[in-house]
Amino acid sequence: MIVQGNIVDIQNRRVFKGEITIENGKISSVKESNHSVENYILPGFVDAHIHIESSMLVPSEFAKLAVLHGTIATVSDPHEIANVLGVEGVDFMIENGKKVPLKFNFGAPSCVPATSFESAGAVIDSDDIKLMMSNPDIKYLAEMMNYPGVLFDDEEVLKKIQHAKDNNKPIDGHAPGLRGDAITKYISAGISTDHECFTYDEGLEKLQKGMKVIIREGSAAKNFEALIDLLPEHFENMMFCSDDKHPDDLLVGHINQLCERAIAKGMDVFKVLQVACVNPVNHYKLDVGLLKEGDDADFIIIEDLEKFNVLQTYINGVLVAENGKSFIKSVDFEVLNNFNTDFKKVEDFAYQSSAEKIRVIEALDGELVTNEIEENSLIEKGNLVSDIQNDVLKMTVVNRYKNVVPSIAFIKNFGLKEGAIASSVGHDSHNIIAVGVSDEVICKAVNLLIENRGGVCAVSNTEEKVVPLPVAGIMSDKSGVEVGNAYAVLDKMAKEMGSQLRAPYMSLSFMALLVIPSLKLSDKGLFNGDSFQFTSLEI
């Protein structure tokens, strides 16, 4: 097979009219030739850090959508399913991903459970990591979120890092806001990347100290604007990622959108494409072609080098997508789950108190970090309740692995004027999280998810809607288009109930993410991510 077009040679910074010859899935020749084809041929895009589970799709269904946007490979941390099902969950992701052409590259989750301050469904210890590191299907040690463990020389953490080093596999970082001597020590442990930078200065310091900085633009956390000006000077040590991409957003675009935005800012196209296509392949030593003779025939054909409208996607010489149509077929798989809690009662969500002031989580739109603020309490019959007028709403995290009393907190900026929203996608342990205007409606939303053994839902004064997520309580067994459209309906419903957040469900899912400051809620209680200890709701 011969493919013609304007070949984008990223390494040598040139574009030339040429043709690529493909034999047995490999590129046998790349040569200049005269022809009339005006499209552009370039290596495919690589998402350098993503949790496939956050798309609410199994890998095979994720692939069907991703290839439409020119994504040919991912660096995937199966941390979410691992927190629910352990190594069995990781194996599920690897095997399901192998059934489709997209090149998934899974890591060994380093933090299961993420902390000791929450209840997860499984444990992956250093002995498990040692076994996983010897598996050729495991490409790296996934994000080391336990940066306090690194800084204070925790024996178990250091063993996990050493197992990765012994197998010559990269170690991913996760160190939001870590600066100065602390980040120096973190890097010296062998940790090579960070996708959690949220300021220019933070990203610059980490780059100057030898880290590779990954620009993240997901459905909730959006750091592109804060970090993109680092790219012109530091493009050799940067990558793009989405981290968490909800299904409705994946229907619209992926890494191609970041390329378009960077070019619109006047950035050099070769630098942008090195970040989007080349650097992840080299850093993680991926089995992904880069348009060289002898490489796997992994490439895309686009209309131009400004909008990055993808016309065709090839993986191993096979056309997997063309003009908005994916040729990847759905595959059969076994549905695994771990949901073992009973229905709740309204009184389970009461919080008896006489406190005049309470600590409140302030959610920040487009950020994983939160603030800790003080607000006046609203008490009815001795029970702390939602203050709709001041947008201080009751929030709960319900342990989905066993029957215990739900934890309670309050949160600002969700904006609901009626009803409740809930999700069993709750990073990192994936317990049920709900926010609502009353105990009654919160209870109704939580029980709707328990009934479905996982999902995301909205309950208003007049209707209930749910997207079931039966696979580990975090992924659907349906197609990406079906899930994306159903999720979009839920997103619209949440906003009609008053939420002003761009991605209310994605934001909700991170309100139990204890490793991101400042104030979060686990199933065990309100947690201060700065001091890394529990704190009280009442002041």
Question: pLDDT of 257-274, one tens digit each?
Answer: 999 999 999 999 999 999
Secondary element (H or E) of residue 148: helix 147-151
Please report whether residue 520 resides in a domain. yes
pLDDT tens string 385-415: 999 999 999 999 999 999 999 999 999 999 9
Whole-angstrom distance, CA of residue 509 vs CA of residue 425: 6
Asked if residue 105 has pLDDT above 90, the reply is yes
Task: Give the number of other CB atoms < 10 A from CB of residue 39.
Answer: 16
The pLDDT assigned to 451 comes to 98
506 pLDDT band, cuts 50/70/90, is confident
230 and 115 belong to one structural domain = yes
66 and 210 belong to one structural domain = yes
> Is-contact 104 52, C-beta < 8 A?
yes
Please report whether residue 490 resides in a domain. yes
Could you give the number of structural domains in the chain?
Answer: 2
The pLDDT assigned to 246 comes to 86
88 pLDDT band, cuts 50/70/90, is very high
Asked if residue 219 has pLDDT above 90, the reply is no
Whole-angstrom distance, CA of residue 314 vs CA of residue 475: 27
The pLDDT assigned to 367 comes to 85
The pLDDT assigned to 220 comes to 75
150 and 283 belong to one structural domain = yes
Boundary (domain end) residue, out of 325, 357, 387: 325
Extract the tokens encoding 27: 């590129």
Please report whether residue 262 resides in a domain. yes
362 and 406 belong to one structural domain = yes
Please report whether residue 255 resides in a domain. yes
Extract the tokens encoding 160: 């996990």
170 and 212 belong to one structural domain = yes
Nearest CA to 279 out of 226, 241, 317, 311 is that of 241
pLDDT tens string 171-211: 999 999 999 999 999 999 999 999 999 999 999 999 999 99
Calculate mean pLDDT across residues 308-323.
Answer: 98
Domain span holding position 466: 346-534
The pLDDT assigned to 124 comes to 98
Asked if residue 382 has pLDDT above 80, the reply is yes
365 and 514 belong to one structural domain = yes
Boundary (domain end) residue, out of 325, 359, 392: 325
The pLDDT assigned to 368 comes to 85
55 and 191 belong to one structural domain = yes
User: Is 19 in a helix, a strand, or coil?
Assistant: strand
For the chain, the average pLDDT equals 96
284 and 250 belong to one structural domain = yes
pLDDT tens string 229-256: 999 999 999 999 999 998 889 999 999 9
Whole-angstrom distance, CA of residue 306 vs CA of residue 273: 12
317 and 442 belong to one structural domain = no
DSSP secondary structure of 355-405: -SEEEEEEE-TT-S-EEEEEEE--EETTEE--BTTTTEEEEEEE-SSS--P
Please report whether residue 337 resides in a domain. no
Boundary (domain end) residue, out of 325, 357, 382: 325
The pLDDT assigned to 115 comes to 87
Kindly give, in sequence order, each residue whose CB lies less than 8 Å from that of residue 149, ignoring residues fewer than 6 positions away. Answer: 156, 157
Please report whether residue 332 resides in a domain. no
Report residue 258 CA to chain centroid gap. Answer: 16
Rounded percentage of the chain residues whose pLDDT exceeds 90: 94
Please, is 403 exposed, middle or buried when counting C-beta atoms within 10 Å of its C-beta (0-12, 13-18, 19+)? exposed
Calculate mean pLDDT across residues 370-375.
Answer: 97
The pLDDT assigned to 59 comes to 98
183 and 244 belong to one structural domain = yes
Whole-angstrom distance, CA of residue 267 vs CA of residue 42: 17
The pLDDT assigned to 275 comes to 98
pLDDT tens string 125-167: 999 999 999 999 999 999 999 898 999 999 999 999 999 999 9
Nearest CA to 424 out of 448, 394, 393, 460 is that of 448
pLDDT tens string 54-84: 999 999 999 999 999 999 999 999 999 999 9
Please report whether residue 405 resides in a domain. yes
276 and 356 belong to one structural domain = no
284 and 350 belong to one structural domain = no
Please report whether residue 456 resides in a domain. yes
Calculate mean pLDDT across residues 423-449.
Answer: 97
Calculate mean pLDDT across residues 423-437.
Answer: 96
Kindly give, in sequence order, each residue whose CB lies less than 8 Å from that of residue 502, ignoring residues fewer than 6 positions away. Answer: 365, 366
223 pLDDT band, cuts 50/70/90, is very high
